[in-house]
Each structure stands twice: as C-alpha cells, then as structure tokens.
Amino acid sequence: MDFRHTEEQLAFYKSVKDFAGRIVAPGAHDRDVEGRFDREVWDAVGHFGLLGLPIPEEYGGSNADVITTCLALEALAEGGHDGGLGLSVGAHVTIGTVPIWLHGTEEQKQRYLPRLCSGEWIGAMAITEPEAGSDAAAIKCRARRDGAEWVIDGSKIFITNGSIANAIIVIAVTDPEAGRGQGVSAFIVETDNPGFSVGKDLDKMGTRSSPLSLLHFDGCRVPSEALLGTEGAALWQVAFECFDWERTVMIASSIGGMKASLDAAIEYAKERESFGKPLARHQAIQHKIAEMKAHLDAARLLLYRAAWMKQEGLPHQVEASVAKLFVAEAAMKNALEATQIFGGYGYIKDYPIERSIRDAKLISIGGGTSEIQRMIIARSLLDL
C-alpha cells in the first residue's frame, strides 16, 4: 500500500490552493451572503484548467487521473472557502461533463467537451423531480419520439447550475411500459431551446454561491442526436454511474472544507485566551482538535480509497457509499466542533467558520442521502 501522492500531484495541489486563496477566497463571504454565483470567478477557474480535469486533452480537458481530480477539488475548497463554488465546479465536471465523455458520440464530444472544459459553457445534470428524489426510478419526466426529434415534458427540481447552464443532461422516461427503472434515457438539452425554462432559483441554507433551480420542459424539442448513451438504459448506464462520480470525486471538496475548518480552529485556539491562557491549553479544546483531525484523516482515507478503486477500474459502488456516508457525518461533526471552538464568534457571519455547518449539511442530502448510502451498503453486505 502506498499512501503517498506524487511530487507532481503535491505541487499541483499547492498551485490550486494558492490560486483559490488569491482568486476565490476574497469574495466568498459576500457571495454567500448575497447567494450569488460569480461568473468572473468561474472563468478564472476555467482559465486555470480546473473545469475539464478528467477529460482527455484532445477534447480540451486536462487528462487528469481520478486522484488528481479529487486533489484539485480538495485544494480549491481548502484555499477558496467557497462551498458553493466547489459544488458548481464539482457538478459541472462530474455529472455535467463526464457523462458526455464516457457515453457521447464523437459528434457530441466535439460539440460539447471543448466548451465545457474551458468553462465557456456550464454543465448540469437533471434527474431529481418534485416527486422523485431518492427513488430515482420513480421519475415521470417524459421524452416522446416525434419523427427525427424527441419531445421532452416534465419538471426537474434541485438542479445545481440549472439557471446558469448552457447544456443540461436530462434523464427522462422514454418507454413507460418497460418496467421500473427501465426505459429511461438521457438527453443533452441546450438551454436556448424554447421549450426549456427556469421555474425559479431556490434560496438555500448553504453552498449559496451555487445556483439551485427548478426547471421546466414544456414540449422541449431536441434532435435525435441529443440522445446520450443507449436508449432506455440511462438510469443504470448514466445516472447511477454519475452517483459514483459524485460520491468519490465531487465530495473531495468537503475534505478541503474540513481541512480549512480545522486549520481555522487551531489558529483561533492558539490566539484566543480564556482563564488566563490560550484556548489551546484547555484539554477540552485539545480533545476537540484531536477528534477533528481523526475525523478528517478517516474521511480522507475512505474518499481516496474509493477514488483509487475508480481509477483502477475496480467495482467501487459500496466503497463510494461508505466514503459519502462517512464524509457527510465527519464534515458535520467537525463543522459543529470548529464553530464551538470559536464560541460566539463562530455564530456570526463575519467569520468563514459560520458557513461550515450550513455547507456541510448538504453532504448528507445531495448526491444520495445518508439513508440511501446505508441502504446500498447494507444491501450489499446482506446480499439483498
């Protein structure tokens, strides 16, 4: 077993963290308060080469392996303190762009990947519906064939980047008679399509610089070439594969957030005094810091185990769920403890630590809830 990253990976990590500290961190507080996505920051992330990380260079990407992609998202979050940006970048890369690379025709790859990798276009994926979240097989959004076109009707909710995306991968039922989870297909919908509209952006608790949208498809006509992957097989082929990308790669941002919170808590504990000595001299505070470090290391190891398995092409659905479940719980515990160490100052918005609880809560919900991760793990162990 080799736990070391290469010199090249470590240098890359440092360069991304430095970039994020210079470009992302300065406006992160205001973007959170205003719930505002910043296109300039996005473009800078694109220029830095982070928006097409795992995509081959021939399509405009960076050809990064899975571990390096995780490292970049972790470093962006550690240096940038902007959970919303991490969410938007993670969704754009892992569920908005990767499926086109893995399942697209050559024409689709040529049309979309260079624009998505540069950041000129923003990507998204729409599975969740107002009445179908955890139970993705219960979606009702329908796509009907009409001559050389498909006509999409239905609504999607909680779509990251929904209102800013140029191309959205939409999962819809194409054969309602096919049985549960079958007859579901994926389509690439360009958002200048007249049948597409944004219902509204949803005002959320955390990760506030990332838009989250309700989307409507009303007689939305797309050409037959918009079909992504095999007709009828998208739930298993595209959507569930995306969940594994979210659970192994996208949540690397959360590890960066945990690191930033721990560092902030350590710094504060050394500076702030109570009862005539720094907080860091009180054993109760030392224990919190030690536990935060243990949670961080365990979460990081589980995440990189799953990422390494993905990189090696090994089955990793259970390991991805274990990582997602543990990271969600560890990130929340650490955010609570970091806030506690900051005392009253942790509860006011002037300090970045205040965002940590609100941002961390998402990890147990988005990309499959913690209850669903437990279900996947238990079903596998119990052979159900």
Ligand X SMILES: Cc1cc2nc3c(=O)[nH]c(=O)nc-3n(C[C@H](O)[C@H](O)[C@H](O)COP(=O)(O)OP(=O)(O)OC[C@H]3O[C@@H](n4cnc5c(N)ncnc54)[C@H](O)[C@@H]3O)c2cc1C
Give the Cα separation of 211 and 91 in Å (integer).
11
Name the one range near ligand X by CB under 6 A: 36-44, 106-114, 267-275, 369-377. 369-377
Which C-beta is closer to ligand X: that of 160 or that of 311?
Answer: 160
Kindly tell me which of 23 and 172 has the beta carbon lying closer to ligand X: 172
Told to judge if 246 belongs to the known catalytic residues of this protein, a careful annotator would answer: yes
Q: Given candidates 133, 181, 195, 199, which one binds ligand X under the rule CB under 6 A?
A: 133
Of 90, 9, 52, 39, nearest in space to 257 by CA: 90
Degrees (nearest 5) of the Cα angle 291, 206, 160?
Answer: 120
Q: 174 or 207, CB closer to ligand X?
A: 207
Could you say whether residue 365 binds ligand X (CB under 6 A)? yes
User: Which candidate in 78, 246, 337, 354 is catalytic?
Assistant: 246
Contact indicator for 54, 69 with CB cutoff of 8 Å: yes
How many other CB atoms are found less than 10 A from the CB of residue 225? 15
In which residue are the tokens 């830095």 written? Answer: 48
Task: Name the segment binding ligand X (CB under 6 A); options: 27-35, 309-317, 365-373, 376-384.
Answer: 365-373
**Closest separation between CB of residue 343 and ligand X, Å?**
29
Among 125, 249, 279, 306, binds ligand X (CB under 6 A): 125
Angle between helices 252-271 and 353-361 (to 10 degrees): 150
**368 touching ligand X, by CB under 6 A:** yes
Choosing from 159, 188, 234, 335, the residue that interacts with ligand X (CB under 6 A) is: 159
DSSP class of residue 22 equals I
Structure tokens at 145: 């064939």
Residue from 77, 91, 164, 320 in contact with ligand X (CB under 6 A) = 91
User: Residues, the chain, total?
Assistant: 384
Closest CA to 32 of 89, 90, 85, 101: 85
* Residues contributing to the site for ligand X (CB under 6 A): 91, 124-128, 133-134, 158-160, 204, 207, 212, 362, 365-369, 371-372, 375
> Which residues have a catalytic role annotated?
246
